[in-house]
Copies of this chain bind each other. A is one copy, B any other.
Amino acid sequence: MQNSIHQEIDIETSDKTKINDVDFNNLDFGKKFIDHMFYCDYIDGAWQQPKIVPYQPMTIEPSARVLHYGQAVFEGMKAYKDDDGKAFLFRPEDNHRRINISAARLAIPEFPKDYFMEGLTTLMKMDKDWIKPGIGNSLYIRPFVFAIEPAISAAPAQAYRFMIICSPAKAYYTGKVRVLFAETYSRSANGGVGFAKAAGNYAAQFYPTSLAQKKGYQQIIWTDASSHEYLEEAGTMNIFFRINDTLVTAPISDRILDGITRKSIIQLAEDNNIKVDVRRVTVSEIKEAARNGSLKEIFGTGTAAVISPISAFEHSEEVFEIPDQDDAYATLFKKYLLNIQHNLSDDKHGWRYEIK
């Protein structure tokens, strides 16, 4: 990998680390950043010199298209460390593939794989002390790309910036989550950008989510915009339902993100002889399953939250509590995943990617 990058990364190291200013036991997600950041600009039809510089503010034109037209996509990934000090990424090439799928839908040029992998691993090696060992600790990694061309006509930009910034993290959600099934608002349309990690998909959820929060629900499980009858995803998480001993999750589509945690869970379930039905899931069947006791669990999956057990849902003003489950699949899969990520168990699918 190191020899395939077209240009060596231009590196400017920070004079002083900020690591001692950070209380790693009290981290407010996404507000503290490691000492360095990676960036690379796209100008005149080509990605330019990749750079690592001290983490710092940057200059942008008020007319930069991202500020007007939301032409931006991102990824979320994490680095983990084992007790021997070895650091790992989890399926990083899948994140590279996906940011380019998102980029293509938003008319953003693809970012080369060697630039991505080399930028990522170089940055990780430089700021390796920020990756703390121990289950629950991780370094959250945010690759993103946005339109910087200073022009406000409604058209794709001719200039972009790709960046990687990183923030030390504890688990994203704490405790169980109560959710509202969407009945009025929607996250995405057929033929839209719901499958992409497009910036605008997230802002569109903030207001409906704030209404849900006022009712005591942390998250919304989005339904299809046409009928509000099919359960899709939670906006920052894919969703699994356990009906008796079978897991059910919606198929990916142009409205649903192809979650890396989601597909890892599907594989782990298969490895453990747990049946997974990947099929459309209706609100009615989940309500019926909750009523007759066959709904054992609901949980969300995503890089930031890993696995979030859901303890209750509301639909049409009716609240369904989901009783605690001994040997919950959510607990089981979370343990399997974290053990792989932290180098505590075998990695038969080759998901770990050691940073060295």
Q: Could you tell me if B190 and A225 are in contact, using CB atoms closer than 8 angstroms?
A: yes
Q: Which residues of A contact B (CB under 8 A)?
A: 29-31, 33, 37, 55, 57-63, 66-72, 74, 104-107, 140, 142, 144, 146-147, 150-156, 163, 165, 167, 172, 182, 184-193, 198-207, 210, 225-226, 228, 235-236, 304
* Nearest 6 pairs of A and B residues by beta carbon: A200-B200, A70-B199, A189-B225, A189-B189, A70-B200, A186-B191
Q: Could you tell me if A106 and B204 are in contact, using CB atoms closer than 8 angstroms?
A: yes
For residue A199, which residues in chain B have a CB less than 8 angstroms away from its CB? 66-70, 199-200, 203
Q: Could you tell me if B67 and A62 are in contact, using CB atoms closer than 8 angstroms?
A: no
Q: Given A68-B199, A69-B199, A187-B192, list of 19 further CB < 8 A pairs?
A: A29-B153, A31-B153, A33-B63, A57-B60, A68-B72, A68-B202, A69-B200, A69-B203, A70-B203, A154-B304, A190-B226, A192-B204, A192-B225, A193-B200, A198-B200, A199-B200, A199-B203, A200-B200, A200-B203
Q: How far is the CA of A38 from the CA of B341 in the complex (A)?
A: 49
Q: Could you tell me if B67 and A144 are in contact, using CB atoms closer than 8 angstroms?
A: yes
Given the known inter-chain contacts A198-B203, A203-B72, A206-B106, please indicate yes or no for A55 contacting B62, CB distance below 8 A.
yes
Q: Could you tell me if B62 and A31 are in contact, using CB atoms closer than 8 angstroms?
A: no
Residue of B nearest to A57 (CB): B59
Q: Could you tell me if A107 and B152 are in contact, using CB atoms closer than 8 angstroms?
A: no
Given the known inter-chain contacts A68-B199, A186-B190, A198-B204, please indicate yes or no for A37 contacting B58, CB distance below 8 A.
no
For residue A67, which residues in chain B have a CB less than 8 angstroms away from its CB? 66, 72, 144, 146, 199
| A34 nearest CB across to chain B (Å) | 12
Would you give 28 A-B contacts (Cβ < 8 Å), ordered by A? A29-B153, A33-B63, A37-B62, A57-B62, A58-B59, A58-B60, A62-B163, A63-B167, A66-B66, A67-B146, A68-B74, A70-B70, A70-B72, A70-B199, A70-B200, A71-B206, A142-B152, A154-B235, A182-B191, A184-B191, A185-B191, A185-B192, A189-B192, A192-B204, A193-B204, A199-B203, A200-B204, A225-B226
